[in-house]
Amino acid sequence: MAQPPVTAAQTPPTVPGARMWGGRFSSGPAPEMDLVNRSLPVDRRLWRHDVRGSRAWASALGAAGVITLTEAADLRSGLDAVAARLEKWTEADWAAATDEDVHTLVERLLGEEAGPVAGKLHTGRSRNDQVATDFRLYGMEAAAALDAGLRGVQQALVDLAESHVDTVMPAYTHMQRAQPVSAAHWLLSHAWPLARDRERLADASHRIAVMPLGSGAIAGCPFPVDRVLLKESLGFRGLSPNSVDAVADRDWVAELLFVGAMAAVHLSRLAEDLILFATSEFGFVRLSDEYSTGSSLMPQKRNPDALELARGKAGRLIGDLTGMMALLKGLPSGYNKDLQEDKAALFGAMDALGVVLPAVAGTVATMTIDTARCAAAVDSAMLATDLADFLVRRGVPFREAHGAVGRLVRAAEGLGCPLSAVPGEVFNHVSTEFVGADLEALFNAKASIEARDSIGGTSPSSVAHQIAELRAIG
């Protein structure tokens, strides 16, 4: 049966700009629904990106003849006025705003600034491609800021390494003293993971910079808008090839979260080394007052809180990544409101890295390395491999050489003396190749370091090459 026409009296009143939808509903959302649906407190930080995307869309509509050039100019002027207003907003202004999201807010304010023409801005555009575009614009900026933060820590490590190419210290495996290395080599072992993080970030940034604007809600735009021109005006690298995929694609969010989580893990490992090496038990490094805190009870304490916080925040970033992957794994194609949760995850991760990275960079840049304490921690047992290498150079098979030196280590333990103090006759007994050898020369940590001159080794020339490579990365 045909339904009777809706009369004016039956049509629910509308508030221009208050909501981007509602014509087919007889009432507004329940308070509980409004509370769970409203995202302005989270996505408000995208207002600059929304204004920027809307200005470009207004120009595209004008260039396509969908609206007049005068109307396009009026929309751009109105959006400029909106931006000027929002720049001055205080927390009280944001708290008073009752708009559903940042896109609704910008459109409402545009109506106040530009008048009825504001209603034409959304022609051919959906919030689905609008939010996807705004968020990618943010993601491009966030990636650039993250790269700068990673570069700061990497640079601090390289700068400090350059001053400690000749500083000898123990390297550890299984948290046991293993072999001597230069302090520079150890520092650079933390700079290289950050370089890999930056490579991953550059690769991910390539996929972030793909513009979804013009995809509409799911099927594309029915008006002859020039998406290539839009892409160029907004600084994107490429265009989304499929509108169904474009509005739902948050792979780039997961990728950026992975890069952030991986970087946080690397920062955590650096922090763990520095926390240990700053203890009285090690004493290899001393943290500056600027990046240490004290105890409320114990006056003597110097706590590495910046490093501990960096170590702790790694867990949060891993959680953000895990949450995002769980969010995406069960979604059907097209846009779903679940994706509203993507912003809190990425904002939180990038904010955490934004405070951790400068703090870690500052900690490294201002700390000092106790060269004497580092050198004193290198004992003669750490040169056991060098003894085996000496025998190998005399023609002894490595496995045989390994066993012979192992017997020397056992003898030192039995005598209760350093390996270097084991009597010469014991050396001669375990292998005749030690007969006549300058045993004292064999126990030289700097010579051990210099001998490891292969690419990636700890020799001064190899370390200098690493430093040059990292400097070249920038």
14 band by pLDDT with thresholds 50, 70 and 90: very low
Q: Which of 86, 120, 154 is the last residue of a domain?
A: 120
For residue 157, pLDDT over 50 is answered with yes
Cα–Cα–Cα angle for 218, 224, 225, rounded to 5 degrees: 75
**Residue in 27, 26, 32, 44 with CA at minimum distance from that of residue 99:** 44
16 band by pLDDT with thresholds 50, 70 and 90: very low
206 band by pLDDT with thresholds 50, 70 and 90: very high
Q: Tell me the residue type at 163.
A: S
Q: Are residues 371 and 387 in the same domain?
A: no
Question: Of 20-24, 341-345, 372-376, 397-401, which gets the smallest average pLDDT?
Answer: 20-24
Of 206, 288, 295, 333, which residue is the catalytic one?
295
Specify whether 174 is catalytic: yes
Q: Are residues 225 and 352 in the same domain?
A: yes
Q: Which segments of 235-339 does DSSP mark as H helices, in order?
A: 243-248, 251-277, 305-328
How far apart (Å, rounded) are the C-alpha atoms in residues 277 and 265?
A: 18
Helix (H) or strand (E) holding 365: helix 342-366
Domain range for 432: 380-443
Of 174, 280, 296, 454, which residue is the catalytic one?
174
State residue 19's pLDDT score.
59
What is this structure's pTM?
0.91
Q: Are residues 286 and 186 in the same domain?
A: yes
State residue 252's pLDDT score.
98
Helix (H) or strand (E) holding 127: helix 127-162
Q: Tell me, yes or no, whether 188 lies in a domain.
A: yes
pLDDT digits (tens, 9 = 90+) for 341-395: 999 999 999 999 999 999 999 999 999 999 999 999 999 999 999 999 999 999 9
**Residue in 101, 54, 48 with CA at minimum distance from that of residue 78:** 54
For residue 409, pLDDT over 60 is answered with yes
How far apart (Å, rounded) are the C-alpha atoms in residues 70 and 62?
A: 8
Q: Are residues 360 and 232 in the same domain?
A: yes
Q: Are residues 154 and 288 in the same domain?
A: yes
As a whole number, mean pLDDT of residues 445-471 equals 97
pLDDT digits (tens, 9 = 90+) for 301-343: 889 999 999 999 999 999 999 999 999 999 999 999 999 999 9
State residue 29's pLDDT score.
77
Q: Are residues 97 and 139 in the same domain?
A: no
Q: Tell me, yes or no, whether 425 lies in a domain.
A: yes
Q: Write the Ramachandran bin of 173: left for phi over 0, alpha for psi from -120 to 50, otherwise beta.
A: beta
Question: Cβ-count burial of 265 within 10 angstroms (0-12 exposed, 13-18 middle, 19+ buried)?
Answer: middle
As a whole number, mean pLDDT of residues 444-453 equals 97
State residue 116's pLDDT score.
97
28 band by pLDDT with thresholds 50, 70 and 90: confident
State residue 30's pLDDT score.
78
State residue 3's pLDDT score.
44
- Please say whether the beta carbons of 107 and 44 come within 8 A: no
State residue 37's pLDDT score.
74
As a whole number, mean pLDDT of residues 211-226 equals 97
Q: Are residues 91 and 208 in the same domain?
A: no
Query: What is the domain-level CATH number for residue 364?
Result: 1.20.200.10
Q: Which of 72, 93, 120 is the last residue of a domain?
A: 120
Domain count, the chain: 3
Dihedral of CA 266/268/269/275: which sign?
positive
Instruction: State the residue for tokens 């370390």.
Output: 463
Q: Which pair of structure tokens corresponds to residue 39?
A: 């995202």
